[in-house]
Amino acid sequence: MKPQEPIPHNYPMRKLNLIFAVSSIGLLLVTGVMVFYDYIRGWKWYQLEFNRLQADRIEQELNAANDATTRKRLAELDAEMKQGQVEIAKNRDQYLLVQKELDDWEGQHYAADQDYRFAKAKLDAQRYQLETSVLQHRADSAQQQRTYDAMLAHVNELNLRLQRVTHDRDAVRARLDRFLSRIKELEDRKKELTANIDLFNKQLGNVELASKRSILNLPMLDFINPTLKIDQVVLGDLFIDMNYMSVPRVDRCQTCHRAIDRPGFESKKEAERLITELQGRLDRNLIQPTKRADTEDRIAQLKRIVDAKQDILNPFRTHPRLDVFVGSASPHPLLEYGCTSCHRGQDRATEFSRAGHTPASLRMLQRWEKSTNPLFPGPWDYKKRNWGFAENPFLETPMYPRQYYQAGCLKCHAGQMEVDSGDEINKATHIVELYGCHACHKINNWRFTDLRKPGPNLDGIGEKTTPEWAFRWISNPSSFRPTTRMPSFFFQRNMIGPAVPPREREQNIRYQNAEIHSIVTYLFSKSTHRAWSSPPNGDAARGQELVSTIGCMACHVAQDTVKDDKGVVRVARRDDFPLERNYGFNLVGTGTKTHASWIYNWIRNPKAYYATAPMPSLRLSEQEAADITAFLVLQQKPRFMQTPIPPVDRAAVHDLAKGYLINTMTDVEAEAKLRSMPMQEQLVYLGQRSIEKYGCYSCHEIKGFEGLKPIGTELTIEGSKAPHLFDFGFVHEYTHEDGEKQHILHNVPSWVYNKVRSPRIYDDERTKPYNDKLKMPNFHLSEEEARLVTTVVLGLTKEKVAANRMAAADPRLRAVEESRKVISQHNCRGCHVVNRNGRAIAALINDPNYLPPDLTPEGGRAQSPWLFSFLKDPTVTKIRPWLHVRMPTFQFTDSEAATLVGGFAADGSQTQFDTMRYQTVPQQNAAIGREVFAMLRCSQCHSVTPVDPANPPLPNAADSQSLAPNLTLAKLRLRHDWIADWIRRPDEMIPGTRMPTNFPRDAQTGGFQSPLALAIDTPQFAAHKAALLPYFQDEQALRKTMADAVALTNYLRDYIWSIGIDQMRAPGSGPGAPLAPANPQTPSTPSAPAATTIARR
């Protein structure tokens, strides 16, 4: 049956077809857009942009290498080569004859070589037949031996023939080479001159080839071998904690940061730093002669970067300090450490936001959040820093903001006191230790464990000062001493700030005063009261001179004002002085704080007050102590004592005490108990509870609070906490006490920074009971100090590092670090240089000849037994009696002294507590050394007269430049093998030392040069030459020795050793028998250790 026309449908077909058509086209478009967006990844645009920058940079380097001078020199070489070709053409016939003769000899050589090789192969086969026959005891062994002997003779004959042919062929070849020697020489010079040009041309060709192969980057073709691809580094033993498991890091940062490990893309600032560093190394001849030309080329390249119109921006910059980070020759090469192991972030991410970048400021965040082209983020955005940034709230390890980059060092360097090239983190950890953060906050990190409490022992506060001074001090420590490390607990912004309602502010002031009264009452009620001797009359002027010269200023400051760059006087801040000089308190106001009797007895013997006192003894005489006391008593701050003290507010004391009592009893019982307590008892009770509340015992030893745990939050893994675990309160911006406006971003670095900068800020706009308000005190940190403390806190994470990746893990380095911990706790760097850092006192001593010694080479320099004894009692030996600064008596325990000695020995690659017994120094060697000593005029500075080690006389020096240790003490304290090495290269061991470099290095070979090589034959040294000749076979042997710097320094060492006071001999008994010339002969080899005996204490 014919279907009905038109066929009936449920929907109108025309409309349905239109809908399907539109849907199909839409689906096709959406699929195309999806594929397009999957293909157009942001990192591809950055690689394309870098390729363009790289081509531009290579062209710049190529133009610099192919400058007018180079082109002129190349033209000259081409002209010389053309002239050489002309010369060859003139002798063409002769050249062709020699070439034909060489071809004949080459044929003969080939034939002779083949004959020898074939005969040698047959001989080897015959040897096998012979050995098999002998092994099996066959009857033909004799015949096999005769055959072998005949073949061996034939092979030897062929070998001699081959050698004769080779000799004759080489002679002909040498004749031919003489024709071409000039051409080859010019070709080599041209090749050397064009080496950089050829290199840059090759690099440019590679870049251009990559651009030609860009078709392989198209969709559906990019699976073959695209030029744009993700770069990644797999770090098999550096893991990321994924909660349920740890997975190896796979860093892809260099996908965008293309030049991160490539020199030549430095920022202008980094280029300027490198120029200064490299030029300084060139000037001091610290660059190997073979690398000087490369260094000069590198400096020229860096200068072109500095002179460029535009600076290179991220992500195309070279990483700063390639010698330290990511460089292939650095301690942290990219292929071994990657990027996220230090910077954190999402290792596998290739998008800006997902990678975990963290803005350093509100302005940076606002700029990042913008996007010039949100649909197609690309290289046109990076110059404006508009990334279309969106924070990833689920990333547990966002990157450190740029001002906290060195926080990542703590992860692997947790067992070190200092990180090489880590100036920021070193200063940061020192501040955390000095300001006592570890006292209130447990930090389970070796660097911050087993440290003494930062505040003084308060058991004897009643002997030291008055309650009136203590009340004013606790109320506002910085009003008395602007540089104090004691933080402010009271009258902070959450108590009296602008956000606190007036009525609540008034109540808080009453309560705060009551708490201060109670704390003072408690401390003085528990204080010891001992009778101390009164000082004799002292001279304040002499006391001031002593304070300035004997070493007090290495740990203390005696000023509370400074002049700024414009000469305007202002109040001093802590960061106006080196950290080492903030180790002790500022001496200004000492006379207001305490009395003469306490000062006098304290400076004479600090340990008499309490055994753990950090201040050492300077072994002051009674008169010296009296003079210093007279000076310190005059350091007054009368205006501080004029600050009014409010009377005890009984109602406030009652309310606060009751607030504590009702935690354990009813309201009625609390009222009854308070009525039964006199006001003094109430104050003592409230003082005890207030000390508990504020954690005063964390920094101070206080009776009744022994053994309590720190009051603050543990910081061991603070850097790993997520933002939602921090209370940001209601504030997003505020005005700091210094008048600057601060912004709080919703991330951990910003929270921590503002917490340490203004500890009570997160109470703003909040309603809390009095005792529930934030209690962390205000250290009045500067912006830099707050940033450094934040750096340390962010570096304290839960990330685990494999033992093989931890720095200072082996026993030798552990010994070094343990000793440096003792050095830090006793502030040895206030006077000394240790590991190239320290000597804060140098700013106060105009003449460098009066500075305490540099201890950097102490481990290789000093004998361990002597050093141990000296640390225990510095009076056993006076090495530099002319110094005004005194080595204090620290009263080190045996354990501390052994730790220091062991650390120095380990740092100098020596064995701890070794006692070296040496061969007797040959007399002729010592005699030669004595003449060399005289020729170099060493006695102008060094005395060789035996002295009492404990009381040597002052040297009779013409000026301070001539002050040097008495060499008869060298055998007592110095290592035998170190002496010669020191004489050879003093400036390398201690840069800037006064010891002259008598044997400078040759700029070309790097070897040591002797100044006596030519001087020995001059009339000026004729007498010395005559004295030396009996010890040598002839003058030629003498001249050879005088030119040998190593031999001369060894002879000098032997002479110094021969005149030394023996450690086993009583001082002053003389250096031993006089030296007499031996029979004329070659001098003995300078003495060396005969045996080493380890004597451990």
What pLDDT shows up at residue 135? 86
- Bridge partners of 915? 1093
When pLDDT is cut at 50, 70 and 90, the band that residue 5 belongs to is low
Distance CA 76, CA 63 (A): 19
When pLDDT is cut at 50, 70 and 90, the band that residue 28 belongs to is very high
Query: By mean pLDDT, which of 202-206, 454-458, 593-597, 707-711 is the weakest?
Result: 202-206
Q: In this predicted model, what pLDDT tens digit does every residue of 943-976 receive, in sequence order?
A: 888 888 888 887 766 566 678 888 988 988 899 8
What pLDDT shows up at residue 1048? 94
pTM of structure: 0.84
3-class DSSP assignment, residue 739: coil
**Same fold: 461-698 with 810-909:** yes
Alpha helices per DSSP H over 482-538: 493-496, 502-526
Task: For the domain covering 68-193, report its CATH number.
Answer: 1.10.287.1490
What pLDDT shows up at residue 309? 82
Query: By mean pLDDT, which of 223-232, 376-385, 993-1002, 1049-1058 is the weakest?
Result: 376-385
Q: Which CATH architecture has domain 810-909?
A: Orthogonal Bundle (1.10)
Whether the Cβ atoms of residue 828 and residue 854 lie closer than 8 Å to each other: no
What pLDDT shows up at residue 1091? 32
Look at residue 417 and tell me whether its pLDDT is greater than 70: yes
Look at residue 1071 and tell me whether its pLDDT is greater than 50: no
Look at residue 1072 and tell me whether its pLDDT is greater than 50: no
* Distance between start and end Cα atoms, the chain: 120
Distance CA 909, CA 385 (A): 50
Per-domain boundaries in the chain: 68-193, 409-453+711-805, 461-698, 810-909, 913-1097
Q: In this predicted model, what pLDDT tens digit does every residue of 731-741 receive, in sequence order?
A: 999 999 888 89
Q: How high does pLDDT run on average in the chain?
A: 87
Report the CATH fold assignment for 409-453+711-805. Cytochrome Bc1 Complex; Chain D, domain 2 (1.10.760)
Scan for tokens 């086969």, then name that residue. Answer: 125
Whether cis (ω within 30° of 0) applies to the bond prior to 467 is: no
Burial class (CB in 10 A: 0-12, 13-18, 19+), 457: middle
Look at residue 912 and tell me whether its pLDDT is greater than 70: no
The CA distances from residue 301 to 58, 62, 375, in Å, are: 11, 11, 38
What pLDDT shows up at residue 1080? 43
Burial class (CB in 10 A: 0-12, 13-18, 19+), 639: exposed
3-class DSSP assignment, residue 1092: strand
Q: Angle between the 540-549 and 622-633 helix axes, to the nearest 10 degrees?
A: 100
Measured in whole angstroms, the distance separating CA 98 from the mean position of its chain's CA atoms is: 65
The CA distances from residue 377 to 352, 374, 476, 899, in Å, are: 10, 6, 54, 58
CB atoms within 10 A of CB 1073: 8
What pLDDT shows up at residue 1085? 54
Distance CA 229, CA 232 (A): 10
Q: Residue 135: CB partners within 8 Å, gap ≥ 6?
A: none
Mean pLDDT (whole number) for 290-315? 85
Q: Which CATH architecture has domain 461-698?
A: Orthogonal Bundle (1.10)
Q: In this predicted model, what pLDDT tens digit does every residue of 190-237 receive, in sequence order?
A: 787 777 778 878 878 877 777 777 788 888 787 888 888 999 999 988
Interior angle at CA 618, CA 612 and CA 620, nearest 5: 120
Whether the Cβ atoms of residue 473 and residue 480 lie closer than 8 Å to each other: yes
The CA distances from residue 21 to 34, 559, 726, 802, in Å, are: 20, 87, 55, 61
What pLDDT shows up at residue 249? 94
What pLDDT shows up at residue 29? 94
What pLDDT shows up at residue 218? 82
Q: For the chain, what's the residue count?
A: 1097
What pLDDT shows up at residue 962? 72
Whether the Cβ atoms of residue 967 and residue 1056 lie closer than 8 Å to each other: yes
When pLDDT is cut at 50, 70 and 90, the band that residue 900 belongs to is very high
CA atoms within 13 A on the CB side of 593: 18
